[in-house]
Structure 1
Amino acid sequence: TSVEYFPKRTQLIQNDKAKGKFVWQAEGFGTVADTGVEFKFPSGDEVSVSFGARKPWSPTHADWGPGGPATFVPLAPMFWYVDSIGTPVTYRIKLANGTIREGRGFAHVEKNWGKIFPRAWMWLQAVSPENDAAVALAGGPLGIYPLELTAYFVGYKSKAVNMDIRPDQLSIYSTEIRPERGYFRMEAKNLRDRLVIEAQADPRSFAPVSIPTKEGYRPNGGIESFGAEITVKAYRMGKLLETKTFRGGALEFGADNMGKEKGPRQD
């Protein structure tokens, strides 16, 4: 089930960039902050999530995201920033019928912004139940006139492996995109590292999501499941370092990728 609301007005009511502190308010709904989320919806449902300490994308550079040293290069037309790959959280969900669900878990926290939005994209993310491994990727053809650029940012993090594959490393990507089957496969490699990622979700588990445009949010701009099984194989200099399978991961087919089957291709 997918439920979306579009507040008439949103605003930053606190924004301390130096300390990474912010509070974003959606009028009539609630707030999103660096410390958590508080929302009350017209349906009568309520969601409250409290965030613990962030777990940065890079274990050595706390401010880096998937872009590495180019994370905040202003020339890029769009940005994907992962603030945390496994923030400890406590949550409370109160449904309109009075049912209350409470628990603990780990949150993947990210944002994206820019001047364009891809005409097609893939996105996936997962974290292990022990919070000792995580995977995330995003990308696709950007279509920056007059060029047709395809770029992916891919990361796999565990106790033994810290691996990033991104465009500035002269990386090569091979993909197989099968939205009607809920299947996605990628092989991403640079001169040293290689990641092979396979994701499979029940096609019936996908729900539509809206996407931002210059004219406002467009409904049914992508499809997303939170029931994907994702397997990662990490290689360095041709040697298999680790194989990890995640369950309950997120898998999204965006825009032109959500209704067309695309066999193996290389970018």
Structure 2
Amino acid sequence: MSGAPFLSVLRDRWRATGADLPGGNPLLSHRAPMEGYLWRFTDQARGRVLVVACGVNDHPDQPWGTVVVAAHPDRLMRSASVDGAHASTTGYEISAPPVFSLSKGLLHARLGEDIDIRCSLDPVHTWPQRRLLHGSGVFSVVPGLNHYWHPHLFDARVTGTARLAQETWNLSDCHVYAEKSWGRGFPRAWWWGQAHGFDRPDLCVAFAGGLLGRGRATVNVSGLTLNMGSRMLSLVPPTALVRARVRDGSWRISGRTPRYEVDLIGDAAGSQALPLPVPLLQPHHFGHSLQHLAGQLRVRVRRDGKEIYTGSSALAALETGTL
């Protein structure tokens, strides 16, 4: 076997463990048991939020997928599971026919007769290419973990519409966030959040955490990402100290590096959580998470001991889940 094909085989085998080599592209399918993709559209002016998620499970007998659409303020939620879902190993392309497709920046989700989302996404703020590691930090190169996380899109120009039951939304005024997660399945317990909708339109915040590992080696791990225009902060252990306390409708996440301090305080604000389906590894079997589509999230950022931003959003996603 010549050098190039041999290295390609080694790379593919490495990625099949869930890990990425430094500088690799985590958006390509790892062929992991679970590959999950999420897009979140925030229309701050109208107080609306739209979530589209697609999961691809690479089951040895029959690959299958799950598509979820949820919207605020109507508390709309639709989902479907189908056989034959596929995520590409060579490009950022996903298909779960006949309910979902993403190719060349064109997203289409159709669930039944009353949900039809069609839009194009032109990225504006993304995960910097100069970063050799993705959103899981040094854990991104560690093989065999049960869950990896990568927030990769912090805003985009959107062209398109979403037909949601009796309403049709123009998505062109939305801020867009997108992420990918993958691995052997969801953690036994997890927490997650994301927000646009601050007084700084270029501010995007996301955090994720859960119980990772096996048996006595299980640990509580959290990370957060904050993007302000051309500046992106990624706070993930061990290069940052990140602590999370999530309970009783409250999310408190703090991250510290030698230069930066980021504090996030999330509050369900009396809203009722939506139960969203979470695919398990067995085909067409599900758990669920509880997600507030429009909670309150307060953000404080300090650099070298000086406060550089404090603000809040009333359109934050705040989620917990257990399996």
Unaligned runs of 5+ in 2: 1-75
Are 2:260 and 1:190 equivalent residues in the alignment? no
Deviation at 1:223, TM superposition (A): 0.7
| Structure 1 counterpart of 2:149 | 80
Query: TM-score scaled to structure 2, two decimals?
Result: 0.67
* Alignment map for 1:25-174 (pairs within 5 Å): 25-58=95-128, 61=130, 64-68=133-137, 71-97=140-166, 99-104=167-172, 105-128=174-197, 131-159=201-229, 162-169=232-239, 171-174=241-244
**Percent of matched pairs sharing the same residue:** 19
Aligned match for 1:24, one of 94, 113, 126: 94
Cα 1:252–1:100 shift into 2, 3 Å: same
Unpaired runs of 5+ in structure 1? 257-267
Map Cα deviations across residues 71-114 of structure 1 (whole Å, 9 max, x no partner): 454354321112211122123122455x4322311211111101
Task: For 1:25, give the aligned amino acid.
Answer: S
State how far apart, in whole Å, the 1-side matches of 2:233 and 2:258 are: 12
TM-score (norm 1): 0.80
Q: In the TM superposition, what is the alpha-carbon distance from 1:159 to its structure 2 partner?
A: 4.3
Judge conservation of contact 1:210–1:218 (CA < 8 Å) in 2: no
Counterpart CA distance in 1 for 2:98 and 2:132 is: 32
Taking a change above 3 Å as real, the CA distance of residues 251 and 34 of structure 1, as seen in their structure-2 partners, is farther
Tell me if 1:8 matches 2:83. yes
Q: CA deviation at 1:235?
A: 2.1
CA–CA distance in structure 1, aligned partners of residues 80 and 113 of structure 2: 10
Question: What's the secondary structure of 1:3's corresponding residue?
Answer: strand
Deviation at 1:178, TM superposition (A): 1.8
The Cα of 1:161 is off from its aligned counterpart by 5.5
CA distance in 2: counterparts of 1:27 and 1:159, whole angstroms: 36
AA matched with 1:48: R
Specify the SS of the correspondent of 2:299: strand
Kindly tell me the number of residue pairs found equivalent between the two proteins. 246
TM-fit CA distance, 1:217: 5.4
For residue 52 of structure 1, give the secondary structure of its aligned residue in structure 2. Answer: strand
Displacement after TM superposition at 1:212 (Å): 2.8
Equivalent residues of 2:239, 2:257 under 8 A apart = yes
Worse-matched range after superposition: 21-30 or 211-220: 211-220
